[in-house]
Amino acid sequence: MLNILLVDDDVEFSDVICHIVEFLGHNINTATSLKEAHQWFENNTFDHVLLDFMLPDGSGLHLLDHLKMIGQSPKVTLISGHPSVKGILADMCEPNVSHLLKPLQREDLELVLNGPKKTVKKAKSAAITHHFDTLIGESAPMQQLYTMIERVAKTNANVMLMGESGVGKEVVAQAIHNASKCEGPLVASNCGALSKELIGSELFGHEKGAFTGAIARKDGVFEQADGGTLFLDEVTEMPIDMQPNLLRVLETKKVTRVGGNRELPVNCRVISATNRSLTDLAQNNILREDIYFRLAVFPIDIPPLRDRKEDIALLAKSFLGQLNDENGTAFAWANEQLKELETYEWPGNVRELRHAIHRAFIMSDPQTSTISLPDNLESPFSRVNTQPEDKQVSAGQTIEEVEKELIHATLDKVQGNKTLAAQMLGISTKTLYNRLNAYGGIGEYK
Partner 1 sequence: MASPQQAKPLNELVHDARAPLNRISMNAELIKLVLENDMPKDKALAALDKIIANCQACSDSLQLISESK
Q: Give the residue from 277, 206, 197, 264 showing the smallest Cα distance to 236.
A: 277
User: Please, are residues 346 and 305 in contact by the beta-carbon 8 Å criterion?
Assistant: yes
Give the shortest CB-36-to-partner 1 separation in angstroms: 19
Site string for partner 1, 55-84 (x = CB under 8 A): --------------------------xx--
- Please provide the DSSP assignment of 239-285 as one string: -GGGHHHHHHHHHHSEEE-BT---EEE---EEEEEESS-HHHHHHTT
Q: Which of 23, 195 has the CB closer to partner 1?
A: 23
The residues in 15-44 that bind partner 1, with binding defined as CB under 8 A, are 16-17, 19-20, 23
Task: Report the alpha-carbon angle 71-77-80, nearest 5.
Answer: 130
Binding flag, residue 104, partner 1 (CB under 8 A): yes
Give the shortest CB-19-to-partner 1 separation in angstroms: 6
Q: Which of 8, 234 has the CB closer to partner 1?
A: 8
d(CA 303, CA 42): 71
Give the shortest CB-13-to-partner 1 separation in angstroms: 5
| Sequence-separated contacts (24+) of 113-117 with Cβ below 8 Å | 113/2, 113/4, 113/21, 113/24, 113/26, 113/48, 114/24
Crossing angle, helix 399-413 and helix 429-439, to 10 degrees? 120
Q: Which of 10, 325 has the CB closer to partner 1?
A: 10
Which of the stretches 10-18, 191-199, 233-241, 325-333 binds partner 1 when contact is defined by CB under 8 A? 10-18
Q: Give the N- to C-terminal CA distance of the chain in Å, as an integer.
A: 56
User: Please, are residues 278 and 292 in contact by the beta-carbon 8 Å criterion?
Assistant: no
Binding flag, residue 406, partner 1 (CB under 8 A): no
Q: Which of 19, 118 has the CB closer to partner 1?
A: 19
Which of the stretches 97-105, 146-154, 215-223, 225-233 binds partner 1 when contact is defined by CB under 8 A? 97-105
Binder among 45, 70, 96, 106 for partner 1 (CB under 8 A): 106
Give the shortest CB-55-to-partner 1 separation in angstroms: 12
User: Please, are residues 235 and 273 in contact by the beta-carbon 8 Å criterion?
Assistant: yes
User: Please, are residues 80 and 59 in contact by the beta-carbon 8 Å criterion?
Assistant: no
Binder among 71, 95, 103, 116 for partner 1 (CB under 8 A): 103
Which of the stretches 7-15, 26-34, 153-161, 404-412 binds partner 1 when contact is defined by CB under 8 A? 7-15
Beta-carbon contacts of residue 246 (< 8 Å; ≥ 6 apart): 203, 238, 291
Q: Contacts with partner 1: how many residues (CB under 8 A)? A: 16
Give the shortest CB-107-to-partner 1 separation in angstroms: 9
Give the shortest CB-323-to-partner 1 separation in angstroms: 20
d(CA 282, CA 289): 8
Q: Give the residue from 114, 115, 116, 85 showing the smallest Cα distance to 99.
A: 85
Q: Which residues are registered as beta bridge partners of 28?
A: 4
d(CA 197, CA 377): 40
Binder among 35, 68, 102, 391 for partner 1 (CB under 8 A): 102
Give the shortest CB-79-to-partner 1 separation in angstroms: 9
d(CA 181, CA 228): 9
Binding flag, residue 54, partner 1 (CB under 8 A): yes
Give the shortest CB-110-to-partner 1 separation in angstroms: 10
Binder among 2, 3, 13, 417 for partner 1 (CB under 8 A): 13
Which of the stretches 9-17, 243-251, 345-353, 387-395 binds partner 1 when contact is defined by CB under 8 A? 9-17
Q: Which of 54, 198 has the CB closer to partner 1?
A: 54
Q: Give the dihedral sign, CA 273/276/282/284.
A: negative
Binder among 12, 42, 91, 197 for partner 1 (CB under 8 A): 12
Q: Which residues bind partner 1 (CB under 8 A)?
A: 10, 12-13, 16-17, 19-20, 23, 54, 81-82, 102-106
